[in-house]
Amino acid sequence: MIKEVIFDIDDTLYDYEVGHAQGMKKMGEYAQRELGVDAGEFQEAYQRLNREITERLGRDDAAIHSRSIRLQNLLEQLRKPLFPHLNKLYHAYWDTLLEISAPEPGSLEAVKRLSENGISIGIGTDMTVRMQYEKLERFGFAPYVKHIVTSQEAGHEKPHPEFMALCVRKAGCAPEECVFVGDTFKKDVLGALDAGMHAVWYNAKGKALPENMDLTGKEYREIHHFDELAPYILSLA
């Protein structure tokens, strides 16, 4: 019997890529207008700095997701004042992303239906806490969420075993009584299966499976629309 369904957030409950592109555009416009830095050059410098921070901190540190850390380092490299520009750039990005983004079609309805059927709803996300809370509230998921695990809290990114173990521990049930739903095959699907959970690959964009991956004995469900989720979960109950 399934007792908890744990959802990834970005590119699962909403389309991150669309909002991200517009947020980056808005930051570029601000940089050109207020800092005298060409918008294209600003975005190139941002991506370069992002790679540098990831190399310095490692890919298993939630700090790599901090927009403030990236912008602080970028402004320092560009020799531009941190104040007030860091906060203004930060809000230019996140305010834009939140304004234009919306829940994935059928996602809120699926979460509501599962909750109404007595299934607890959890979150397992690679991000820092503050903005993930903001997204859950903005997109209407917050009233249904009972447990949240971020990589900031777990100390590791998905699919690290300690991250997944914390998800199960907060759910308060056996791994086989949990289902993990996410869009990233290696992190969400394989991470969940290796932890003993059921896994659902939300593949609305029709991604190909990662190459050279041994899936022997790995059973998971692939869905392309959230209308498919609740019937599948309830069939496992």
Per-residue pLDDT of the chain (237 residues; tens, 9 = 90+): 999 999 999 999 999 999 999 999 999 999 999 999 999 999 999 999 999 998 998 777 777 889 999 999 999 999 999 999 999 999 999 999 999 999 999 999 999 999 999 999 999 999 889 999 999 999 999 999 999 999 999 999 999 999 999 999 999 999 999 999 999 999 999 999 999 999 999 999 999 998 888 899 999 999 999 999 999 999 996
- Domain encompassing residue 74: 17-100
Instruction: Please state the domain count of the chain.
Output: 2
The pLDDT of residue 237: 65
pTM of the entire predicted model: 0.96
116 and 205 inside one domain: yes
- In DSSP terms, 149 is beta-bridged to 124
Q: Please give the structure tokens belonging to residue 52.
A: 């540098």
205 and 170 inside one domain: yes
The pLDDT of residue 97: 97
Q: Any idea what the CATH number is for the domain that residue 133 is in? A: 3.40.50.1000
30 and 8 inside one domain: no
CB 178 within 8 A of CB 198: yes
CB 156 within 8 A of CB 57: no
The pLDDT of residue 171: 98
86 and 133 inside one domain: no
77 and 188 inside one domain: no
155 and 74 inside one domain: no
- The residue out of 100, 125, 150 marking a domain boundary is 100
21 and 52 inside one domain: yes
11 and 22 inside one domain: no
- The residue out of 53, 78, 100 marking a domain boundary is 100
- In DSSP terms, 125 is beta-bridged to 150
CB 49 within 8 A of CB 77: yes
